[in-house]
A and B are shown apart, each in its own frame.
Chain A
Amino acid sequence: MNFFKKIKEKISSQTETVTEKFREGLTKTRDSFVGKMNDLVKNYRKVDEEFFEELEEILISADVGVHTVMELIDELKDEARTRNIREAHDIQPLITEKLAELLEGAEGETKLKVQEDGLTVILFVGVNGVGKTTTIGKMAHKFKQEGKKVLLAAGDTFRAGAIEQLEVWGQRVDVDVIKQQAGSDPAAVMFDALQAAKSRNADILLCDTAGRLQNKVNLMKELEKVKRVITREIPGAPHEVLLVLDATTGQNAMSQAKTFGQATDVSGIILTKLDGTAKGGIVLAIRHELDIPVKFVGLGEGMDDLQEFVPEQYVHGLFADVLDEAEAAEN
């Protein structure tokens, strides 16, 4: 149980509340996912072809994606053979380990690149309805609590009510929103916002953009332009381009990550709506194939429910029951 100990140690350095948030937010996800996993171990005492087939289905049901699942299963089969694992019970920690491995990257890469001094610009991109504006509201709240001076740019000039939605968030967390009329050029809004951020000495500028499906070439070009304008005004900016992904999304999330990545050089992912039954397993595949790390997860509707992503926490959230069991066994 070396691996579980490692996880425990890593998360014990974090506050109880964070661990609790993950645990709580992932309850629904865990119930279905780990429940299935436990059943699997119970039903198949031997690690055989059928066992792997069932495991394959569990992973696919979490939207991990056929391709990644197949690779994972092959690796597990190899490992099971070399380590001579025959009992289903013994392979469970191996599965957890492999999943966490897929998510883990270089140390500290899930942290946002916030400038030591001066303005940090963060651009939010994604398809329609994933929760960009809500996420910006929550993140503004987070930075505000850290004592930062935050400004919001209402770059979604297209969708009806989008500017008003951001304004409501601005009032809620008490930060200013830079906006123009609906229908105006989003790049122009960004230009205004950057000037305002500079003159008001803001620390953080969070830029909203209209949701767009990644196969709309013209809209993706518009997004490229928005980014170009930001870079022209402040070299090195945007310091983060965050792709907001809905955890309920299936395999199309890969296409989203690819295309938005090409157009705007996405530096991280925010996985929203994880408090439902969806598992968001596609981030494993995205991490694996495109090497884009998840930086934040949305675990609920509250203002505080946007949490920094910690792979160990995520895996812990998914496997809390298993971990407790393992601990109990050791004591």
Chain B
Amino acid sequence: MAFEGLAERLQGTLNKIRGKGKVSEADVKEMMREVRFALLEADVNFKVVKEFITSVKERAVGQEVLKSLTPGQQVIKVVNEELTALMGGEQSKIAVANKPPTIVMMAGLQGAGKTTTTAKLANHLRKKHNRKPLMVAADIYRPAAIKQLETLGKQLDIPVFSMGDQVSPVEITKNALAKAKEEHHDYVLIDTAGRLHVDEDLMKELDDIKALADPDEILLVVDAMTGQDAVNVAESFNERLGITGIVLTKLDGDTRGGAALSVKAVTGTPIKFAGMGEKVDALEPFYPDRMASRILGMGDVLTLIEKAQTNVDEAKAKELERKMRTNELTFDDFLEQLEQVKSMGPLDELLGMLPGAGKMKGMKNIQVDDKQLVHVEAIVKSMTKAEKQDPAIINSSRRRRIAKGSGTSVQEVNRLIKQFSEMKKMMKQMTGMQKGKGKKKGGFKLPFM
């Protein structure tokens, strides 16, 4: 990747000043240059970057950094703090109308992901908030856009209101609202057509829908990969409609997502959700602090831990911990762990959340293949019960049989067995260390770590 995180970027400057007694103003200036590059490479708008650098520089030169013993870390800390603050500090929730139904209008450019997000949001409202949403197919322009929403509605078993593509979106909205009242829906999500912010006719249409529906929430859907133009788009939509929130989509890609900062800065409205995948449940609340780290290329440990927590059974984790302590770990436990890791999501996604994963040698361009897990699984499943309980008995003829049974090679079987015994050794050391400290670390422990 062409991108380097801020930490890597600052390394060069830091090497230079290491050993110097103190950090000069010129050094800070150079560091700010690197910060600027990092932000620009992350697609943060250059105007936003400029303002940001000015404010950080003030804090940095204003002695905080100069006096500290680890100026590099201090700079990163200041930058991270300022970025989080700019991002909006706390998490922000979706609006609820005093008198139902709550009306939510979706708007954005073509291809930002409005229709998919509408379905995800409806699913979220029903699942997490116990609501009864109605989706409205008001995109009459893009071929089969209505069909797309209807298909998603069917998948989720959430009703979709549509009148075909020969009726004006305003008319559709009007009828949809009547229907929502009639059938007691407490949320109405209006999926509008994608449009360019400079398309006067279509922007006027949004005005009309807004005037009629008087929405409680107008969400601007923004592709996280958007470049410098994000400010123009967000500014135009905001001036015209007065948006109340932003949904950032396609954040499961490898983009730094600097657009998040840009749109937040120009509209002043909070980012409420993040689209994290193609599945209908892949909509997550937006965490400003995590996004700040991501833009700076510092990984996303918190999301990783959270993913682990929601997917790992606590009782099982405790049992595993006991087994690790007593060194009783078997291949059966291993298999169980494998299942749990798999349930957390694609491996490359998990790896991407680790800070420094991009920096590690050999990790830089690593392509994690989830299919390798399938091989491992097949190998373990080709073992007999006795072999799984006591791997020591697996001799060469057993290895050949396992390889045959799993459709892999003896080498692969060897590798896995070796890895397993090393893992056991490592775990013994780790648990030993913990005991030595005399601290009982409660709660959750990540498998394999």
Contact = CB atoms under 8 A, between A and B. Distances in A.
> For A158, A167, A216, which residue has the most chain B Cβ atoms within 10 angstroms?
A216
A84 B39 CA distance: 34
B229 interface: yes
Contacts of A172: 143
B254 A215 contact: yes
Instruction: Label chain B's interface by main secondary structure.
Output: loop
Interface string A154-191: 00001111101101110010000000001000000000
A137 B278 CA distance: 24
Interface string A179-218: 0001000000000000000000000000000000111111
Interface string A258-280: 00000000000000010111110
Given A61-B228, A217-B369, A252-B43, A276 B109 contact: yes
Interface in B92-127: 109-113
Contacts of B148: 159-162, 164-165
Contacts of B382: none
B407 to A, nearest CB: 18
Contact of A217 (B223, B229, B259, B367): B367
A267 to B, nearest CB: 22
B144 A164 contact: yes
A252 B255 contact: yes
Interface string A35-67: 000000000000000000000010011110111
Given A216-B346, A217-B368, A131 B110 contact: yes
A276 B229 contact: yes
A164 B143 CA distance: 8
B385 interface: no
Interface residues of A, number: 51
A282 interface: yes
Nearest to B367: A217
Contacts of B42: 251
A93 interface: no
B197 A277 contact: yes
Nearest to A170: B143
A120 interface: no
A144 interface: no
Contacts of B145: 161, 165
A249 to B, nearest CB: 5
Contacts of A160: 147-149, 151-152, 155
A278 B227 contact: yes
Contact of A128 (B113, B146, B151, B346): B113
A91 interface: no
A252 B225 contact: yes
A127 B278 contact: no
A246 B152 CA distance: 25
Give the one of A169, A273, A278 with max B CB within 10 A.
A278
Given A275-B196, A276-B196, A251 B111 contact: no
Nearest to B257: A252
Contacts of A246: 111, 223, 225
Nearest to A63: B227
A129 interface: yes
B232 A277 contact: yes
A131 B46 CA distance: 27
A250 B144 contact: no
A28 interface: yes
B250 interface: yes
Nearest to A160: B151
Contact of A66 (B37, B113, B146, B151): B37
B422 interface: no
B3 interface: yes
B373 to A, nearest CB: 11
Contacts of A251: 2-3, 41-43, 227, 255-256
A131 B254 contact: no
A248 B196 CA distance: 11
Contacts of B253: 127, 213-215, 252
Contacts of A158: 278
B369 A168 contact: no
Nearest to A212: B278
Contacts of A26: none
Contact of A249 (B37, B147, B152, B226): B226
Contacts of A292: none
B37 A164 contact: no
B1 A255 contact: yes
A161 B367 contact: no
Interface string B253-281: 11110110000000000000000001000
B113 A252 contact: no
Interface string B225-252: 1111110110000000000000000101
Contacts of A66: 37, 40-41
A128 B228 contact: no
A161 B162 CA distance: 15
A119 interface: no
B198 interface: yes
B404 to A, nearest CB: 26
A221 B369 CA distance: 10
A277 B144 contact: no
A248 B226 contact: yes
A136 B294 CA distance: 35
Contacts of B20: none
A329 B230 CA distance: 37
A248 B152 CA distance: 27
Contact of A250 (B197, B225, B232, B349): B225
A125 interface: no
A122 interface: no
A221 B372 CA distance: 14
Max count, chain B CB within 10 A of own CB: residue among A61, A161, A217, A275:
A161
A215 B43 CA distance: 18
Contacts of A169: 143
B205 to A, nearest CB: 14
Given A62-B228, A251-B227, 8 more contacts: A32-B232, A63-B228, A159-B278, A213-B253, A214-B254, A250-B255, A253-B225, A277-B197
17 contacts: A63-B43, A129-B113, A130-B111, A131-B111, A160-B149, A164-B148, A165-B144, A165-B145, A215-B348, A216-B346, A217-B348, A217-B370, A218-B371, A246-B111, A248-B223, A276-B233, A278-B227
Q: Please give me the 7 A-B residue pairs with the lowest Cβ-Cβ distance, nearest first.
A: A250-B227, A161-B148, A129-B111, A168-B143, A250-B43, A160-B151, A164-B144
